[in-house]
Structure formats: structure tokens, C-alpha cells
């Protein structure tokens, strides 16, 4: 029995060894599979990190066209469909199409206009020097006009079929978009120069009495928050945060949910153009010729750049770039993250408006004082391909001739070389990142050497004739 018992124990030990060996093999396979998955995951991660095709404006730029119009521009804006609305001091409102670069319609009032076009959901609002308020359809038809007995001193903002604006005497109005009839009014302590903004069905505006007013949609006062100085005309609201400048050269971030200041920062002057935001950053230009980029969370300055002159023109964000114009001839472009200057365009005369991006064009306005004529200028990125050879035509049979191509306006482009002889065309170097091709001609004749440059969105060809002789 003892030997049988010993035999049984040996069998159990052997089975355990087999099980352990099998478990070890399975663990090795699992570990290998796990490492392969991690490797593929890393590959996928790094593959996804390949930079995307640049969006927005791309420098260098060249002039693609212009539209002439009567009078000096007040301002111009674009709607969601890409149409452009422009007002001039001569009492004209224009609608233009950026895609076809033409005027769609114009509307004229009897007095000089004092405002830019303000876009609503379906209508356009402007007012003249006598504070007559006009409402136009987006087809250029007058829907109504109303005389306001006080001087309008803010922009016009629309929300839920009502328009809102403030006056020099401190009256804040709500009017119906359908008729212009007054719905209610609210009396503040001094002139209202701050264009109203909206947050969570609350109406917010600043006043010269150093107060920030928060009203309900029915015009009742929800809160009045004291600031340290006059609030400048163009605040910005994003979610529950309000950003604005004051006359004592401070810039504020205000938490509307908690109704208290989040941060403030001392800056170099007044802000006469509206701030713009991009991700975690906020941008604005001060009257001391400085473009600031701040961290929205804490107000820390991420970078700043001096621009050629003062400006009250709006900034324009296009992709990963921010564009700025001033009372100079230079249109400047900076990287939003680093502030690096990545392009500029010299117009040759003073720019009269903000830049505006409506793909594929970057637009701005100039003015001819003698003719009292404005010009809407269209710029487009330069798309250019040039091909050069190591030797001039003609060359002899068997000689090596190297062709090199250079391209402007493309991104991560590829090159495809081809050769034409009479009516026959053949590819001599498949599409690749290589921008040169060496040719050893085997017979005499008249040839055309060409290259096609392509990227994800663009394509262009260029060719040069070449003669090959025996001697």
C-alpha cells in the first residue's frame, strides 16, 4: 500500500507540474498579447498626433478682387451663411456675397448712419445720427422704422423676438422685433454705453454710474453690482463669465453665477474693441497699441505684442491664428498659442476696418478720400508651383538633367513627375514627398517635363518644354 501511495503522490506531482507549465505558457501568451495591444495603442496615439490640415487663413496672401461702394465704412459683419453686411456714413447699407464677390442689394436712408449693421435671427438693425432705428429684412426690405427721442449710445442686441439698447440719458429699452414698439424701459443712473449681453435669460449691461446691471427678460432689476470705474462699451459674456474693461485701465472677469469678481488685471489703456475668446485664452487690444493674450481662468498674461498703431477694430480668429488691423497699412497675423508673428500683409494705405475671414477669402476695407469711395478688398492665399532644371534646353542624349520643384500654399504636399512626348504622357516618378527627379534622355526630340503638386485639398500643375539633341 505504501508503494501504491507513493506512486499516487508522484502522479499528482506530475499533474501539478503539467498544470503549472500550461499556466506559465498561457501567461506568456497573455503577456505577449497585452504588450502587442499596448504597442498598437501607442502607434495609434502617435498616428493621431499627425498635425491636421491648417484651417483658416494661410499666409502669404495676394489680392483676389475688390468691391467698390459709396461712402466711408462704419463697420461690416458676416452672418452664418457667409453673407456680408456693411454700413457707411452716407446712409447706405449693403449686402454682399463673399463667395461670388458681388453686391446683392443696398438700402439707403435719408440721414447719415451712426451704427454698424446689427444682425438678428431674421432681421438687420441700424440707426442714424438722429437715433432713428431701422429694421430691414435680410433681403434688404424696410420692415419698420422708429424714432427714438434720446441718443442711442450702444449696440443693438436681439433675444427672443426683442431688441435691447441703451441711451445717453440712461434709459434701457426693450422693443418688439416685429414692429419696433416699446415693450418696457429701465432707468439706470447715468449714460449707458455698454452693449447689452445675455446669460441664462438675464440681460446685462454696464453704465457710466460705475454699476453693472442685471435685469430679467421683463425688465425687473435682479442685481446691481458696483465696479470701480466706468465700464467700457463692449463686454463679452461666455457661459457664466463676463469680461470687460474699465476706464481706469483694468480688465475684469466676473462670475455671474456667484455674482462676484473672479479676477482683475491692470492693463496699459482703454479697450475700445470687443474681447474675443479661443479655448482657454482671451484676446483684446489696448489703446496703448498692445495686443494681449490672457489665460481666461486666472487673468495671467500668456503673451503680448505691440501693433503698429492704435485700433478700435475687432480681432478675427481664424483657425489657430488671430488677425489684427489698426490705423496703419499693416494687417498682422499671430499664432494664438505662442504669439509668434506668422504673416503680414501691407495694403499700401491705412486700413479702415477689422479683418474678416469668410473662406477662402480674408477681407478688409480701404477708403478713397477724393472719391469718397470705399473698397472691400479680398485676399486669398498664394498658390504657386515652380519647376527648374539643372541645365537649360537644349541638352544632349544621355546627359543627366535634374528637375526640382518648389511650392507655396500647400501643406504636407506630394509631387508627381510626368513626361510628355508628342501626344503621349507617362508618369516617370510616382507621387511622393520627393521634390526632384533626374532624367537621362535616351533619344532626341521635343519633350515637356511636368509636375503635379497635391495635398489634402489643393492641386496644381506646372510644365516646362525641353529639347534633346544628338550632339
Domain ranges of the chain: 1-50, 384-469
pLDDT value for 304: 97
pLDDT value for 315: 97
Pairing of strands 260-266, 276-278: unpaired
Q: Are 412 and 427 contacting, i.e. CB atoms less than 8 angstroms apart? A: no
Cβ-Cβ contacts under 8 Å for 37 (sequence gap 6 or more): none
pLDDT value for 470: 86
pLDDT value for 54: 84
pLDDT below 70 — which residues of the chain?
1-50
pLDDT value for 87: 98
Mind listing the pLDDT tens digit for each residue in 73-86?
Answer: 999 999 988 899 99
Q: Are 130 and 114 contacting, i.e. CB atoms less than 8 angstroms apart? A: no
Cβ-Cβ contacts under 8 Å for 309 (sequence gap 6 or more): 289, 326, 327, 328
CA distance 76 to 314: 10
Mind listing the pLDDT tens digit for each residue in 413-442?
Answer: 999 999 999 889 999 999 999 999 999 999
pLDDT value for 342: 93
pLDDT value for 182: 97
pLDDT value for 5: 44
Name the pTM for this structure: 0.84
**CATH assignment of 384-469?**
2.60.40.10
pLDDT value for 2: 46
Amino acid at each position: 500500500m505504501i508503494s501504491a501511495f507513493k506512486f499516487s503522490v508522484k502522479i499528482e506531482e506530475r499533474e501539478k507540474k503539467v498544470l503549472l507549465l500550461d499556466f506559465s505558457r498561457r501567461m506568456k501568451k497573455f503577456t505577449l498579447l497585452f504588450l502587442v495591444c499596448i504597442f498598437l495603442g501607442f502607434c495609434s496615439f502617435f498616428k493621431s498626433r499627425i498635425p491636421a490640415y491648417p484651417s483658416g487663413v494661410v499666409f502669404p496672401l495676394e489680392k483676389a478682387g475688390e468691391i467698390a461702394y459709396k461712402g466711408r465704412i462704419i463697420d461690416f459683419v458676416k452672418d452664418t451663411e457667409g453673407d456680408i453686411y456693411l454700413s457707411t456714413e452716407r446712409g447706405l447699407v449693403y449686402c454682399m456675397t463673399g463667395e461670388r464677390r458681388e453686391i446683392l442689394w443696398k438700402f439707403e436712408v435719408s440721414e447719415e448712419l451712426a451704427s454698424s449693421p446689427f444682425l438678428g435671427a431674421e432681421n438687420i438693425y441700424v440707426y442714424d445720427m438722429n437715433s432713428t432705428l431701422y429694421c430691414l429684412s435680410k433681403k434688404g426690405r424696410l420692415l419698420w422704422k422708429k424714432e427714438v427721442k434720446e441718443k442711442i449710445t450702444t449696440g443693438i442686441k436681439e433675444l427672443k423676438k426683442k431688441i435691447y439698447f441703451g441711451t445717453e440719458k440712461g434709459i434701457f429699452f426693450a422693443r418688439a422685433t416685429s414692429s419696433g414698439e416699446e415693450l418696457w424701459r429701465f432707468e439706470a443712473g447715468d449714460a449707458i454705453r455698454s452693449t447689452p449681453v445675455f446669460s441664462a435669460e438675464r440681460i446685462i449691461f454696464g453704465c457710466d454710474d460705475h454699476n453693472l446691471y442685471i435685469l430679467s427678460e421683463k425688465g425687473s432689476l435682479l442685481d446691481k453690482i458696483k465696479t470701480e470705474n466706468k465700464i467700457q462699451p463692449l463686454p463679452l459674456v461666455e457661459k457664466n463669465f463676463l469680461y470687460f474693461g474699465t476706464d481706469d485701465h483694468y480688465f475684469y472677469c466676473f462670475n455671474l453665477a456667484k455674482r462676484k469678481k473672479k479676477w482683475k488685471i491692470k492693463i496699459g489703456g482703454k479697450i475700445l474693441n470687443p474681447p474675443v475668446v479661443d479655448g482657454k485664452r482671451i484676446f483684446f487690444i489696448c489703446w496703448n497699441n498692445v495686443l494681449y493674450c490672457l489665460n481666461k481662468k486666472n487673468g495671467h498674461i500668456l503673451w503680448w505684442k505691440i501693433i503698429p498703431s492704435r485700433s478700435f477694430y475687432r480681432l478675427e480668429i481664424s483657425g489657430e491664428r488671430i488677425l489684427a488691423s489698426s490705423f496703419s497699412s499693416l494687417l498682422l497675423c499671430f499664432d494664438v498659442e505662442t504669439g509668434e508673428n506668422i504673416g503680414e500683409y501691407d495694403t499700401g494705405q491705412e486700413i479702415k476696418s477689422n479683418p474678416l475671414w469668410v473662406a477662402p477669402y480674408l477681407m478688409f476695407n480701404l477708403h478713397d478720400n477724393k472719391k469718397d469711395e470705399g473698397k472691400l478688398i479680398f485676399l486669398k492665399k498664394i498658390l504657386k508651383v515652380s519647376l527648374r532644371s539643372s541645365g537649360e534646353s537644349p541638352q544632349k542624349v544621355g546627359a543627366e538633367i535634374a528637375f526640382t520643384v518648389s511650392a507655396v500654399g500647400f501643406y504636407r504636399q506630394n509631387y508627381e513627375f510626368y513626361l510628355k512626348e508628342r501626344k503621349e504622357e507617362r508618369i516617370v516618378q510616382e507621387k511622393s514627398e520627393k521634390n526632384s527627379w533626374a532624367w537621362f534622355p535616351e533619344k532626341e526630340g521635343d519633350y515637356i517635363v511636368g509636375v503635379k503638386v497635391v495635398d489634402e485639398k489643393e492641386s496644381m500643375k506646372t510644365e516646362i518644354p525641353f529639347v534633346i539633341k544628338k550632339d
